[in-house]
């Protein structure tokens, strides 16, 4: 189905109608991550939606960092987010924005609310504030400090700005309604004291605006037409609208909510992901088992596959859980079409071709991809000794086994048919080698004696290959909902989520592999060079995904 034929989701319908009716002249969206961690697959959906509709309707999309909480934010996260958005294939409009760019204006608007009699400095402690706030069934009650005069509030707020109060002593709140059924509207805090240096503004401020106060006003400053966010912010929308209505903002954006992307066998809480990193359960935010965009990139997922997955998941207002196998399907589909082919023996077993001259060398030719002429061909050195995988040889086997067996024939991929004669064992009876014979004149053709091979196996030359490490990655958790119902996610960490294989043998064409090149190791899966640990002297390949979904068979 072409893009033009796809039915519109509800966000697209809203935008189409707004443009048609002239309610907005041009579409302008934004992606506003908080730089307190690395982006994950859920953020990818928001990125694809915000940037995607902007591209679709000829609009623009800003990248703005919601940096109102300096205690948890770092420049490292800012840089990682910029890299993730670019890698996914999107370009933001103009310069990077930061909510901190608007701190002066937000401060002025806070003073404006005080002067209008709509904001007050409150001295209640956090515990007292919770008590006064009430709950879902009981109304709250007004703070005893709500009746302070405008003049007193202006003086106290200035003292807050100057750092004359300690953290937690007081805050600035807006006057709405302590009996409001929406808890967000019960005189929310819009400024709190935090004596923490900011990664953008340094020590200029010791008071910082709340997310709810800064978010809508930042949208207004940037003249955002459609503020698109996830459903958990739906109850915040009345407050978003209250600020827009009660401040002299230059524009009146509107907030729309869609369901967040929840994926099974995964956690996407930044707090929980940070725990995995901090306690060493994974190798950093970019560990290939993490659901972070940087982790998926390092593992070998492609931008196209992630965009396709987000499209398949859909944009609705109904919360649900998407099966991770849908993501795995998207990456298999993409790599099957686009990944170059190569051979790598993960568990090497030496085969000596006894009727092949010791001093003879040949070069076999193999396609870069069976359906992609544009990927050219690759050269495979061939000699008397080769490596095959240990699992591809048995001394005896039933008819279902289509690999090398003593007295039986098998074809080497893009090379000869061979027949096994005997196994070689060590003193403990372990098989350490195989003696076999080539069947002459069988490169690219069947044997003249009419006895065909039963199967095809991969191989590499024993003399001309690349010694490498291969990392086999799988799902990080064994349970569909590892953190549901108060469960400790650490109890369901998959002990087999990473297997490290050393001494693997890869074909020589992989000598020039880069961390941008995707490969199908024939019969083994899809792989990519590790961007973090691999070096010129040590090639490390990460398995992106197996050729087929075998998870249910293992479970």
Contact 300, 542 (CB under 8 A): yes
Q: What is the pLDDT along the chain (555 residues), one digit of tens a residue?
A: 556 678 999 999 999 999 999 999 999 999 999 999 999 999 999 999 999 999 999 999 999 999 999 999 999 999 999 999 999 999 999 999 999 999 999 999 999 999 999 999 999 999 999 999 999 999 999 999 999 999 999 999 999 999 999 999 999 999 999 999 999 999 999 999 999 999 999 999 999 999 999 999 999 999 999 999 999 999 999 999 999 999 999 999 999 999 999 999 999 999 999 999 999 999 999 999 999 999 999 999 999 999 999 999 999 999 899 999 999 999 999 999 999 999 999 999 999 999 999 999 999 999 999 999 999 999 999 999 999 999 999 999 998 999 999 999 999 999 999 999 999 999 999 999 999 999 999 999 999 888 889 899 999 999 999 999 999 999 999 999 999 988 999 999 999 999 999 999 999 999 999 999 999 999 999 999 999 999 999 999 999 999 998 776 665
- Cα–Cα distance measured from residue 309 to residue 322, given in angstroms and rounded to the nearest whole number: 10
Domains defined for the chain, CATH in brackets: 3-258 (3.40.50.620), 270-341+468-554 (2.40.240.10), 344-458 (2.40.240.10)
In this structure, what are the phi and psi dihedrals at residue 107, rounded to the nearest 5 degrees?
-65, -40
The DSSP symbol for 397 reads -
- Cα–Cα distance measured from residue 403 to residue 391, given in angstroms and rounded to the nearest whole number: 9
Nearest Cα to 149, choosing from 121, 128, 174?
121
Contact 442, 468 (CB under 8 A): no
**Which two structure tokens, joined as six digits, stand for 362?**
């040949």
Residue 421: which residues within 8 A CB-CB, separation 6 or more?
A: 354, 406, 407, 435, 436, 437
Three-state DSSP at 107 gives helix
The reported pLDDT for the residue numbered 370 is 95
Residue 246: which residues within 8 A CB-CB, separation 6 or more?
A: 113, 116, 118
Nearest Cα to 522, choosing from 429, 395, 388, 396?
388
With the C-alpha atoms ordered 266, 269, 270, 274, is the resulting torsion angle positive or negative? negative
The reported pLDDT for the residue numbered 486 is 86
What pTM did the predictor assign?
A: 0.93
The reported pLDDT for the residue numbered 3 is 63
Angle at 381 between CA 376 and CA 386, to 5 degrees: 130
- Cα–Cα distance measured from residue 301 to residue 303, given in angstroms and rounded to the nearest whole number: 7
- Cα–Cα distance measured from residue 495 to residue 472, given in angstroms and rounded to the nearest whole number: 12
List b or e across 363-401, with b for residues whose CB sees 16 or more CB atoms inside 10 angstroms.
ebebebbeeeeeeeebebbbbbebbbbeebbbeeeeeee
The reported pLDDT for the residue numbered 551 is 72
Nearest Cα to 105, choosing from 218, 245, 255?
218
- Cα–Cα distance measured from residue 113 to residue 119, given in angstroms and rounded to the nearest whole number: 5
In this structure, what are the phi and psi dihedrals at residue 496, rounded to the nearest 5 degrees?
-105, 20
The reported pLDDT for the residue numbered 362 is 97
Active site (catalytic) residues: 34, 260, 270
């Amino acid at each position: 189905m072409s893009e033009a034929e796809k039915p519109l989701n509800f966000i697209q319908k809203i935008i189409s109608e707004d443009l048609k009716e002239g309610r907005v002249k041009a579409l302008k969206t934004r992606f506003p991550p908080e730089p307190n961690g690395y982006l994950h697959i859920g953020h990818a959906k928001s990125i694809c939606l915000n940037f995607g509709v902007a591209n679709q309707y000829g609009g623009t999309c800003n990248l703005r960092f919601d940096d109102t909480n300096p205690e948890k934010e770092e420049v490292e996260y800012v840089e990682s987010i910029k890299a993730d958005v670019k890698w996914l294939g999107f370009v933001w409009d103009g310069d990077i924005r930061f909510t901190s760019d608007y701190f002066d204006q937000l401060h002025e608007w806070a003073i404006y609310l005080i002067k209008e009699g709509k904001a007050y400095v409150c001295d209640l402690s956090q515990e007292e504030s919770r008590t006064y706030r009430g709950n879902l069934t009981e109304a709250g009650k007004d703070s005893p400090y709500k009746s302070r005069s405008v003049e007193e509030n202006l003086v106290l707020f200035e003292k807050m700005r100057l750092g004359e109060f300690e953290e937690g002593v007081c805050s600035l709140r807006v006057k709405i309604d302590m009996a409001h059924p929406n808890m967000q509207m019960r005189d929310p805090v819009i400024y709190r004291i935090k004596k923490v240096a900011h990664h953008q503004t340094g020590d200029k401020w010791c008071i910082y605006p709340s997310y709810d106060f800064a978010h809508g006003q930042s949208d207004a400053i940037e003249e955002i037409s459609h503020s698109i966010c996830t459903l958990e912010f739906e109850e915040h929308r009345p407050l978003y609208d209250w600020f827009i209505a009660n401040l002299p903002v230059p524009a009146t954006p509107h907030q729309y909510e869609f369901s967040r992307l929840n994926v099974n066998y995964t956690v996407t809480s930044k707090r929980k992901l940070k725990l995995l990193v901090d306690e060493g359960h994974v190798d950093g935010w970019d560990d290939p088992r993490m659901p972070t965009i940087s982790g998926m990139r390092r593992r070998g997922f492609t931008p196209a596959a992630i965009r396709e997955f987000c499209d398949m998941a859909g944009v609705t207002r109904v919360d649900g859980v998407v099966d991770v196998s849908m993501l795995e399907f998207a990456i298999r589909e993409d790599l099957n079409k686009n990944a170059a082919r190569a051979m790598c023996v993960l568990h090497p077993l030496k085969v000596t071709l006894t009727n092949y001259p010791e001093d003879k060398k040949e070069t076999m030719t193999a396609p870069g991809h069976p359906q992609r002429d544009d990927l050219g061909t690759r050269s495979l050195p061939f000699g008397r000794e080769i490596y095959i995988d240990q699992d591809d040889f048995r001394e005896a086997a039933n008819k279902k086994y289509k690999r090398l067996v003593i007295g039986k024939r098998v074809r080497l991929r893009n090379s000869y048919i061979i027949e096994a004669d005997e196994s070689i064992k060590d003193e403990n009876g372990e098989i350490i080698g195989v003696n076999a014979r080539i069947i002459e004149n069988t490169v690219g053709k069947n044997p003249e004696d009419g006895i065909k091979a039963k199967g095809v196996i991969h191989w590499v030359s024993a003399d001309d290959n690349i010694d490498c490490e291969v990392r086999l990655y799988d799902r990080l958790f064994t349970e569909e909902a590892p953190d549901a119902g108060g469960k400790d996610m650490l109890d369901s960490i998959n002990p087999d989520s990473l297997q490290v294989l050393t001494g693997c043998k890869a074909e020589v064409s992989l000598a020039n592999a880069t961390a941008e090149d995707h490969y199908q190791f024939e019969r083994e899966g899809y792989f990519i060079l590790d961007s973090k640990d691999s070096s010129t002297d040590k090639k490390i390949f990460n398995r992106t995904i197996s050729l087929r979904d075998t998870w249910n068979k293992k479970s």
